[in-house]
Structure 1
Amino acid sequence: MEIRTLRAFAEVVRQGGFSRAAKTLFATQSTVSKAVRQLEDELGVRLLERVGHHSRLTEAGEIVFHRATAILAEGDDLRSELAEVRGLKRGTLRLGLPPIGSNTVFAPWFATYRSRYPGVEIKLVEHGSKRLEEMVLAGELDFAATLLPVGSEFEWQEVCREPIDVLLAADHPLAQRPRLTFDALAGMPFILYGEDFALSSIILKACREGGFTPKVATQSSQVDLVIELVAAKLGIALLPRSLAEQCPHPLTKRVAIDHPEIHWHRGLVWRRGGYLSHAAQAWLSLAGSPEVLQPSAIR
């Protein structure tokens, strides 16, 4: 079993087909197809079912893909360690950030890191927290910013913790109250975030604990649009306090939630037992530095 055939197979799965995988691997489509066939012949099982222009994993393929990603991640770790032993002067930091709220904490972090380590290339990926966690476990990212707590397969470092408030139209009957309990929101239409965003899971869990299932008016991953929809009286939204304060709107009102309190607890996660390059360790060392701390990070 060769690394090149495992990498070709894994890339076909990740990209959803042979053509895209070939572009990612800088190879021809026939070369990628041949590598996957070679792997199937060697293992004696069919790994992919061809459906039109797309491919989907067989039951055996699921098992092999899981093992292949782990093997490839270990191989990448090995190459990183050997490169640094040889005195690599330039490095690469592979970082995943969710599109919601990352600017409030990580923009100063980027500026400080760049000023200290100008030779390090920063490869930034933006996805929802769940997808970013999968990429960390697959060895595709050094770190991901996500919501805590996380599973035992990760190591993590806290970045910040802050309350989540409810945003209502300014003329809403409850908008003048200083604080609200969560069960007071039952029956109102909610504007939620996409299913890939961990923030939606926090909100839905709080609703269940409050004894109700929210009526969902719509979903969006754009904070500005969520706020405008609240202003247009389409529904209510729950926002981390720093985001609500950063984007004030004259037609909305932010109200604190008294009971139960829910929080946006963010951290950096990495694969437990995985190798962290010097570039990655340098990024991690900035956590808690006065140069990158923001008001939202110390609440």
Structure 2
Amino acid sequence: MEFRPLRAFVEVVRQGGFSRAAKTVFATQSTVSKAVKQLEDEIGVPLLDRIGHRSVLTAAGEIVYRRGVKLLADRDDLLAELDEIRGLKRGVLRLGLPPVGSSTLFAPLFAVYRQRYPGIEVRLDEHGSEELEEMLRNGDLDFAGALLSQSREFDWEPVRREPLVALLPRNNPLCARPSVSLTDVRDIPFIIFDSGFSLHRIILDASRRAGFEPTIAARSSQIDFMIELVGAGLGTAFLPRMIAAQRRHPAVRHVLLDEPDTEWIMAMAWRRGAYLSGAARAWLDLVREIHVDDQGRQDRSIPSIT
């Protein structure tokens, strides 16, 4: 099986159509269509059910897509490893970072990395943890900064642990307490991150464990906007203590969240078993050098991350 038709087919599925896929692989739409047809002829069954302007995966197409993503990622690893054996002097680091905490935890690493390795091109993607996890799985990233979870697909290196704080309007009586639980704030509307963020899942899961379904006043991916909503009295939001401390607001108070299994643990993740290029290994060494989390390194019972 040739990789070029397989890559064209995978991109048609990822991008949701032939025209978008053509832009991604820098080819014409006709070339992409021919490549997919070539792959179908080689396999002997249709991979896409073309309905008008839409294309839907057939059962065979689902299998080829799932396997094809891994084959292409493994091929990229192979080529990268061979390039290094040939003495590659320049490289690429593909890095995914979440919007929450990246400026504090990873911006200093960028500066040091660029100073040490000026010939390495850094390709940065910024998304929520769930999308970063999918990009790692597909081989689109070397590393992603994300929160710990139960996934066994990735290896990880701990970076930072922080408790969460509840952000409350300054006139709320709960602000006088040293800490609050989710049950204490259950009657206040929640202002939470969008569903693609791990903090979205953490807060909702903890609320359900506490026996209630919170009222959602707003969902957002913008921290400053969420804080402004709290200041306007719309509800309560939740942030890692480190992040909240950097964004003080005169109308908002921070109260420690005393709730089990809500600690914010940021780590650097990579696909288990993936080949790490020289550029990637240099980044990981730098993470370990600058962000050594002694507690995380000793407690290996903590599961892998997304």
In which range does the TM-score fall when normalised by the shorter chain? over 0.9
For residues 59 and 234 of structure 1, what CA distance do their matches in structure 2 show?
Answer: 47
For residues 23 and 196 of structure 1, what CA distance do their matches in structure 2 show?
Answer: 26
Runs of 5+ in structure 1 lacking a partner? none
CA 1:284–1:192: 2 relative to 1, 3 Å: same
Please tell me whether residue 218 in structure 1 is matched to residue 236 in structure 2: no
**What is aligned with 1:24?**
24
For residues 176 and 58 of structure 2, what CA distance do their matches in structure 1 show?
Answer: 56
**What is aligned with 1:269?**
269
> Secondary structure, in 3 states, of the residue corresponding to 2:269?
strand
Q: Is contact 2:99-2:127 (8 Å) kept?
A: yes
Amino acid at match of 1:57: L
**What is aligned with 2:249?**
249
Q: TM (normalized to structure 2)?
A: 0.92
**What is aligned with 2:304?**
none
Runs of 5+ in structure 2 lacking a partner? 297-306
For residues 270 and 215 of structure 1, what CA distance do their matches in structure 2 show?
Answer: 35
> Secondary structure, in 3 states, of the residue corresponding to 2:157?
strand
- Counting aligned pairs with the same residue, the percent is 57
Amino acid at match of 1:82: L
CA 1:230–1:51: 2 relative to 1, 3 Å: farther
Match runs of 1:40-119 below 5 Å: 40-119=40-119
For residues 206 and 119 of structure 1, what CA distance do their matches in structure 2 show?
Answer: 45
Superposed displacement of residue 51, structure 1:
4.4
Superposed displacement of residue 55, structure 1:
2.9
For residues 275 and 231 of structure 2, what CA distance do their matches in structure 1 show?
Answer: 47
For residues 2 and 237 of structure 1, what CA distance do their matches in structure 2 show?
Answer: 51
Q: Is contact 2:159-2:292 (8 Å) kept?
A: no
For residues 232 and 222 of structure 1, what CA distance do their matches in structure 2 show?
Answer: 16
> Secondary structure, in 3 states, of the residue corresponding to 2:258?
strand
Amino acid at match of 2:20: R
Q: Is contact 1:193-1:220 (8 Å) kept?
A: yes
Amino acid at match of 1:56: V
**What is aligned with 1:131?**
131
| CA offset digits 1:184-241 (Å, max 9, x no partner) | 1112200111111111111111111211111111100000000001111111001111
**What is aligned with 1:14?**
14
Q: Is contact 2:157-2:288 (8 Å) kept?
A: no
CA 1:167–1:52: 2 relative to 1, 3 Å: farther
For residues 12 and 103 of structure 1, what CA distance do their matches in structure 2 show?
Answer: 34
Amino acid at match of 1:116: R
For residues 73 and 138 of structure 2, what CA distance do their matches in structure 1 show?
Answer: 6
CA 1:261–1:81: 2 relative to 1, 3 Å: closer
- How large is the RMSD of aligned CA atoms in angstroms? 1.8
> Secondary structure, in 3 states, of the residue corresponding to 1:260?
coil
| CA offset digits 1:139-180 (Å, max 9, x no partner) | 110011111034111111111111011000111121221211
> Secondary structure, in 3 states, of the residue corresponding to 1:9?
helix
